[in-house]
Structure 1
Amino acid sequence: MASIVDRPKKDGSVTYQVKWRQDGSWQTENFGDKDQAEQFRKLVEAHDNKWPYGWIRGKGFVEPDEHPNDAPLMDYANRYVDRLTGVDIRTREDYHREIRLHFIHLVHTRTDGLEVPATICNITQDDVTDWVRREQEGQLDPKDASRWLRKKADPKSIANRHGLMYCVFQAAVDATPQLRTTNPCKKTSLPRQDDHVDQDMTFLERDEYARVAKEITDPDARDLADFLVGTGMRWSEASALKVKDLNLTSERPTASVQRAWKRAKKGAPAGEGFFLGPPKTKKARRLIALSPAQVEMCRRLTTGHGPEAFVFRAAMGGPWRHSNFYHRKWQPAVQAAIAAGLPKKPRLHDLRHTHVAWLIAKNIPLPAIQARLGHESIQTTVDRYGHLVRELDDEITAAVEGIMSVPAPRAGLRAV
């Protein structure tokens, strides 16, 4: 039988020694906590007064070293991001921030219930599921229930972080030599994003946009707002448009999206916080058809300017900066419109969503909208805007009614 012996120390603390005889000799293991000592004593007796399988004296349960090339997850994830190609500096920084702030909460729970730091090889599917739950629930300060140590993450943020985590583990699966055989993120059940998507977007009716536009007193700023809602371009694309990107003389005038503003690396000198780079995705490089009114606007704005000049220019002649436009032009106009009775509070990006809503209201097919917006996948367009496609309901129900109202052929009748 195993027993526990209290062993006082000179500093007044006490360690607890589990003691038993195995094969004629005394065996001992020390613990700083009495409950842990009691649990270990029961384990020894359950193993017929022998060391529990997998237990290493002074260390505890140590899992076999099956992965000699294993590495801490944080180190491996950061190296993965550093080696990515085709991403700009700011995106790389964002990935590193997600790893630093959120991957740190991914831990491995061993078979004995003990949590140990995550490595690229020890993480299981259950560990990833536990991480998703922690992200979803957040963490309150145990000393102050009104204060969050870590706020709850919304479903979209969890999905984005999980997507990055999936790529990190897939790199370990695809590595040579292979570090692991399966991706623990592959079958994760993520929180639904339905409500989050709906709440994130504001759609303006034509008269509602007119109420906001009326409050934009700067004609140059009004031109840019009209162009955003009339083309569905992203702010970073429209504000980067140059004279050479316009084709106003052909039968089908267009604006070519070839570049967009990108955030520079943090700590960049003042005035160098943005730079021109490629659009968001490959399909974001696109031609956007212009209406006659938009052609007239572009001709008015570009007459007398060279090919490298920006189409939309601020008061000093340079390109618009998002913060200046938003705080000095857009936000005051929205606040004035709300004071006059506007029931919505649209963001600047909601002009893009509004453009889509107007197209859907005119029965423009979603694949055509996908191409106009520059979405990489039609699924993105469907997920964000599919719920707006209601104008065809009458046509759909009429078609179903027409099909169902045709009598089915009766058995036994033959064509003559």
Structure 2
Amino acid sequence: MAGIRKRPKKNGTATYQVRWLQGGRDGTWENESFEDEDSATDFRDLVEAHGNKWPYGWIPGRGFVEPDEHPHDVPLLDFAREYVDALTSVDIRTREDYHREIKLHFSLLTHRRTDGVDIPATICNLTQRDVSAWVRTEQEGRPNPDSKGRGKKEWLRVPADPKSIRNRHGLLFCIVQSAVDSVPQLRTTNCCKGTKLPRLDHDTDEGMAFLERDEYARVAMEIKDPDARDLADWLVGTGMRWGEATALKVKDLSLASEIPSANIQRAWKKAQRGSPEAYYLGPPKTRKARRLVALSPAQVDTLRRLTAGLEPDSFVFRAAMGGPWRHANFYNRKWLPAVREAMDKGLPKRPRIHDLRHTHVAWLIAAKIPLPAIQVRLGHESIQTTVDRYGHLVRRLDAEIVAAVEAAIAVPAPRADLRVVTG
């Protein structure tokens, strides 16, 4: 049996040494020291459970070490920060946002060892089980155990919404994949593959608001500022993102063409925290967001009115002082008061500014415009984005689909002559 020997120190403290005969009476004496008696007791029990032998995976003086420990292993958070710093395809604000995600959310990732003990995650020891446990923590949050249970529930960490979880998991996937692709290779597989993520439609309330034409008209009627009304009409009429529409310049317009259009070449971006300016002009959200948006005759008339006498580099949509619109000002001073007024008069929805983009798509689908054409108009990088976000609206065409099927099967198919000709 293993025993514990207390060894006092000159400073008044003590260490606790676990001693045993390796393998039994005929073995050699082995020992391991600990700073506290509880740790020594736990280790003694492990030695005895392993037949008076060193516990599997235990390295003298270090403790449990995973069998697959990599010589180039580093803490996950350090590796993640280095990965983000090395990115060349993101702007400064996006890089800051990634670092914030690492600090606030990746710090929750831990690795559960084979003995059931949780230790800090590294880029090499992270497993699929660890990632799944982290996703559950993000999804469920952490209630405050000291809350009194009355009224509003208190949280140490509020549950994350499904889209945020998917975005964070996507960043983690890329970080781990870079370890798989690195030289020397730090991992052979990506432990983020196969993670079951929460559905985007998990909530009972739909995140997007789709306005009928009369519903939008009720909101627009309450926007008293003509310039603000022009911008709202443009957003719902083109499906442009806010940052694209408010960055549009006179030189981007082709109003005399056979098919008048607006050329999307830039968008407003959030500047680095601490910068003197909160926003700056940069490229659109994705490569395919650079696009031409076809315009209706009514939109052309509006643009001619708004841009008359302006220089090519002037913004098309301008606030009261002549500068570009800022989202917060438009939302708080123009949009929100109009929505509240419309709701007081019976509007059953509370649309956001971005819901004008969703509403534009709903109107196109109702007009039987195919999803691939909508993808191009919106500037989605992938058709899958369009299908995932708006595919359910195609149900509005069910009557046409049923009619087409019925028409197709109503015409009898030609039949081969089945008569057998005998000699």
1:113 aligns with 2:116: yes
Counterpart residue number, 2:313: 308
- Contact 2:58/2:64, CA 8 A, preserved across alignment: yes
| Distance in 1 (alpha carbons) for counterparts of 2:233 and 2:39 | 69
Match of residue 126, structure 1, among 122, 125, 129? 129
- CA gap 1:222/1:244 in 2 versus in 1, 3 angstroms: same
Unaligned runs of 5+ in 2: none
Aligned length: 414
Moved more, 160-169 or 49-58: 49-58
Question: Which runs of 5 or more residues in structure 1 are unaligned?
Answer: none
Secondary structure at the aligned position of 2:263 is classed as strand
- Partner Cα distance (1:223, 1:163) in 2: 38
Is the 1:139–1:148 contact (alpha carbons within 8 Å) kept by the matching residues of 2? yes
1:141 maps to 2:170: no
The CA distance in 1 between the partners of 2:229 and 2:420, in whole Å, is: 68
CA distance in 1, matches of 2:374, 2:389: 12
Structure 1 residue identity aligned to 2:286 = T
Instruction: Mark the CA change 1:41 to 1:410 in structure 2 (over 3 Å): closer, same or farther.
Output: farther
State the distance in 1 between where 2:415 and 2:322 align.
77
2:161 is matched with which residue?
154
Q: What is the root-mean-square deviation of aligned Cα atoms in Å?
A: 2.6
Aligned positions of 1:260-275 closer than 5 A: 260-269=267-276, 272-275=277-280
2:367 alignment counterpart: 362
State yes or no: 1:214 paired with 2:221. Answer: yes
Q: In 1, are the aligned partners of 2:47 and 2:53 still within 8 Å (CA)?
A: yes
| Residue 40 of structure 1, CA deviation | 3.1
Cα distance between partner residues in 2 of 1:52 and 1:412: 81
Aligned equivalent of 1:164? 171
Q: Alpha carbons of 1:309 and 1:197: their partners in 2 closer, same or farther (altered >3 Å)?
A: farther
**Which stretch shows the higher mean deviation, 190-199 or 200-209?**
190-199
Cα shift at 1:396: 1.6
SS in 1 for 2:77: helix
Does structure 1 retain, via aligned residues, the 8 Å contact 2:339–2:350?
A: yes
Aligned to 1:85: 88
Q: What amino acid sits opposite 1:228 in the alignment?
A: L
- The residue type paired with residue 113 of structure 1 is G
Could you tell me whether the CA contact under 8 Å between 1:363 and 1:391 is conserved in 2? no
Whether the 8 Å contact between 1:156 and 1:196 is mirrored in structure 2 is: no
Match of 2:208 in 1: 201
Give the drift of 1:72: 1.4
Contact 1:15/1:33, CA 8 A, preserved across alignment = yes
Residues 243 and 302 in structure 1, CA contact (< 8 A), matched pair in contact too: yes
Aligned equivalents of 1:156, 1:207: Cα separation in 2: 30
C-alpha contact (below 8 Å) 2:162/2:202 kept by paired residues: no
Q: Which of 232-241 and 108-117 deviates more? A: 108-117
Distance in 2, Cα, partners of 1:29 & 1:256: 72
Partners of 1:197 and 1:384 within 8 A in 2 = no
Tell me, yes or no, if the aligned pair for 2:20 and 2:30 is still in contact at 8 Å: yes
Cα distance in 1 for partners of 2:386, 2:272 equals: 30
Match for residue 337 of structure 2?
332
> How big is the shift at 1:186?
1.2
CA distance in 2, matches of 1:415, 1:212: 73
TM-score (norm 1): 0.92
Query: Relative to structure 2, which stretch is displaced further, 296-305 or 138-147?
Result: 138-147
Correspondence for 1:72:
75
Shift of 1:179: 1.5
Q: 3-state DSSP class of the match of 1:223?
A: helix
Give the alignment of 1:1-400 within 5 angstroms.
Answer: 1-4=1-4, 18-22=18-22, 23=26, 25-30=28-33, 37-64=40-67, 66-144=69-147, 146-196=153-203, 199-269=206-276, 272-400=277-405
Offset of residue 306 of structure 1: 0.9
Partners of 2:382 and 2:420 in 1: CA distance:
47
Shift of 1:234: 0.5
Indicate the larger mover: 306-315 or 41-50: 41-50
Distance of 2:329 and 2:175 partners within structure 1: 38
Residues in 2 aligned to 1:141 and 1:281: alpha-carbon distance in whole angstroms = 40
When residues 116 and 292 of structure 1 are mapped into structure 2, their CA distance, relative to the original with a 3 A threshold, is: same
Displacement of 1:120: 1.1
| Cα separation, 2, equivalents of 1:33 and 1:408 | 86
Deviations 1:326-381 (A, max 9, x none): 11111111111111111111111111011111111111111111111000011111
Preserved CA contact (<8 Å) 2:293 2:377:
yes
Tell me the amino acid that sits aligned with residue 406 of structure 2.
E
Give the distance between the partners of 1:197 and 1:241, measured in 2 at CA: 37
Letter in structure 1 aligned against 2:265 = Q
After TM superposition, give the deviation of residue 187 of structure 1 in Å. Answer: 1.5
Contact map agreement 2:69 2:124 (CA 8 A) in 1: no
Q: Offset of 1:47 from its aligned partner? A: 2.5
